């Protein structure tokens, strides 16, 4: 099996590099939808606590020279650590400088004269940057968000940071005839990224059931669903894979999943930001990484209606071929038009097809 680690769980780009490209890209796109959605007041005290840094109130101040001192200190800490971090696929000097700039962008507002206003105390910025460099805590967890498609999604420790290649799942759904009015399932929704992406395209009658075993993931998914005003389109359900979907068995227009697919033995060798901070529940796919994928393939036969569509993300290449082979041989009576779809990097990433 070809392994793409330790850079990311599923991308040849390190997650931090991928997000750096994304953030730059997103910054240049009109922020209308995201800014509008995120400007809504939080619906509960819990939601307030989970809010990304850039949404918190500007409750603190610091002098310009104190902030400059912080910046100098943070840069020197990053420069000294860069060779160590990049040795396992982590960020190098340039990316760390950009991450620092983004953190400050999210944390501070400069009125031009007088003191700088901050969303956290200056001491907290020191603590957060130490966590980034010394503990390798991903920047996305520190600032509490990730840019994905044209969305800005809340994330927190305990929830997988959505990856750029997964964006394509939403495009695969959009190609299905009549998808807008269908019943969809996003199994293992994590931050709710795929569900929000699909939910925004749905019309009359269209609905997504977003499931996850993790209550932490569902809490964040709920926040993202609410922020984007999709409560009437996306229903969150807790449980293992198909268990929470018994009432819609055989009725689904389509189902999608980016399940845990990393072979267990490869997890300790992943980039520290991934293996030390992202949830094992979101990564570990069993001995060869296919435990959950195989379960999902088999369960799809009962969950989908006749003609229903499925799309699964995999670890790529050989894992993709294995799943596609099974669906066209052992389960050929259940599925048709099974296809392997490459991601933007040309890696055979997705298996798609239809229920007979
Ligand atoms: C690779 S992550 C994908 C998250 C999100 N869909 C994305 O693409 O960013 C896999 C998700 O599956 C969830 N998961 C793991 N085991 C599960 C199970 N038995 N039933 C439901 N969800 C599960 C994890 O909690 C995690 O959120």
CA distance 100 to 326: 46
Ligand 1 atom 13: the closest Cα is on which residue? 188
CA distance 221 to 8: 22
Domain boundaries in the chain?
A: 15-145, 147-153+158-355
CA distance 337 to 311: 12
pLDDT of residue 114: 87
- For residues 21-32, give the mean pLDDT: 35
Mean pLDDT of the chain: 89
CA distance 43 to 222: 10
- For residues 32-36, give the mean pLDDT: 30
Contact 220, 159 (CB under 8 A): yes
317 closest CA partner among 353, 343, 297, 284: 343
Ligand 1 atom 11: the closest Cα is on which residue? 188
Mutation choice for ligand 1 from 192, 257, 282, 283, CB with most ligand atoms inside 8 A: 282
Q: How many CB atoms lie within 10 A of CB 62?
A: 19
pLDDT of residue 24: 39
> Tokens at residue 247, please?
């009432």
CA distance 85 to 73: 18
- Percentage of the chain beyond pLDDT 90 is 83
- For residues 119-141, give the mean pLDDT: 98
pLDDT of residue 242: 98
Taking the centre of ligand 1 as the mean of its atom positions, its distance from the CA of residue 223, in whole angstroms, is: 17
CA distance 217 to 153: 12
Please give the biggest Cα pair distance in the chain: 72
Ligand 1 atom 4: the closest Cα is on which residue? 190
Q: Which residue ranges have their beta carbon within 6 Å of ligand 1? A: 160, 162, 166, 188-191, 193-194, 211-214, 217, 240-241, 258-260, 281-282
Confidence of residue 5 (pLDDT cuts 50, 70, 90): very low
75 closest CA partner among 115, 16, 133, 121: 133
Instruction: Output the CA–CA distances (angstroms, integers) from residue 194 to 4, 97, 174, 245, in the order listed.
Output: 22, 30, 12, 17
Q: Is 341 exposed, middle or buried (0-12, 13-18, 19+ CB in 10 A)?
A: middle
Mutation choice for ligand 1 from 18, 157, 188, 217, CB with most ligand atoms inside 8 A: 188
Contact 41, 97 (CB under 8 A): no
Mutation choice for ligand 1 from 149, 259, 270, CB with most ligand atoms inside 8 A: 259
Strand-pair category, 252-257 with 183-187: parallel
Confidence of residue 44 (pLDDT cuts 50, 70, 90): very low
Beta-ladder partners of 353: 310
> Tokens at residue 164, please?
């750029």
Instruction: Output the CA–CA distances (angstroms, integers) from residue 152 to 96, 127, 243, in the order listed.
Output: 21, 24, 30
Contact 172, 49 (CB under 8 A): no
Contact 195, 220 (CB under 8 A): no
Confidence of residue 41 (pLDDT cuts 50, 70, 90): very low
Q: Which of 19-28, 240-249, 268-277 bottoms out in mean pLDDT, i.e. has the lowest?
A: 19-28
pLDDT of residue 111: 83
pLDDT at residue 250 above 90? yes
> What's the pTM?
0.89
Q: Which CATH architecture has domain 147-153+158-355?
A: 3-Layer(aba) Sandwich (3.40)
pLDDT of residue 353: 98
For 26, residues 6+ apart whose C-beta sits below 8 A from its C-beta are 147, 150, 152
């Amino acid at each position: 099996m070809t392994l793409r680690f330790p850079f990311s769980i599923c991308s040849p780009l390190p997650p931090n590099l991928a997000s750096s490209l994304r953030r730059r890209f997103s910054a240049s796109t009109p922020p209308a939808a995201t800014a509008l959605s995120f400007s809504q007041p939080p619906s509960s005290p819990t939601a307030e606590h989970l809010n990304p840094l850039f949404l918190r109130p500007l409750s603190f101040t610091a002098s310009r020279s104190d902030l400059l001192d912080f910046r100098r200190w943070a840069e020197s800490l990053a420069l000294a650590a860069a060779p160590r971090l990049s040795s396992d696929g982590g960020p190098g000097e340039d990316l760390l400088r950009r991450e620092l700039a983004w953190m400050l962008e999210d944390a501070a507002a400069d009125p031009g004269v007088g003191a700088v206003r901050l969303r956290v105390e200056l001491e907290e910025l020191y603590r957060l940057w130490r966590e980034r460099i010394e503990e390798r805590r991903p920047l996305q967890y520190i600032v509490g968000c990730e840019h994905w498609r044209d969305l800005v999604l809340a994330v927190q420790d305990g929830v997988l940071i959505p990856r750029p290649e997964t964006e394509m799942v939403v495009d695969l759904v959009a190609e299905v005839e009549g998808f807008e009015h269908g019943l969809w399932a996003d199994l293992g929704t994590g931050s709710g990224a795929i569900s929000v992406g699909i939910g925004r395209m749905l019309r009359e009658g269209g609905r997504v059931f977003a499931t996850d075993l993790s209550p932490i993931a569902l809490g964040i998914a709920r926040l993202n669903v609410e922020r984007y005003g999709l409560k009437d389109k996306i229903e969150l359900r807790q449980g293992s894979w198909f268990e929470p979907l018994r009432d819609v068995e055989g009725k689904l227009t389509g189902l999608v999943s980016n399940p845990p697919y990393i072979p267990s033995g490869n997890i300790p060798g992943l980039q520290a930001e991934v293996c030390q901070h992202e949830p094992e529940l979101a990564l570990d796919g069993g001995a060869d990484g296919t435990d959950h994928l195989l379960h999902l393939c088999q369960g799809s036969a009962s969950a989908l209606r006749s003609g229903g569509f499925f799309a699964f993300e995999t670890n790529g290449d050989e894992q993709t071929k294995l799943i596609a082979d099974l669906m066209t041989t052992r389960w050929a009576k259940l599925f048709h038009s099974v296809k392997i779809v490459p991601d933007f990097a040309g890696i055979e990433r997705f298996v798609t097809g239809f229920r007979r």
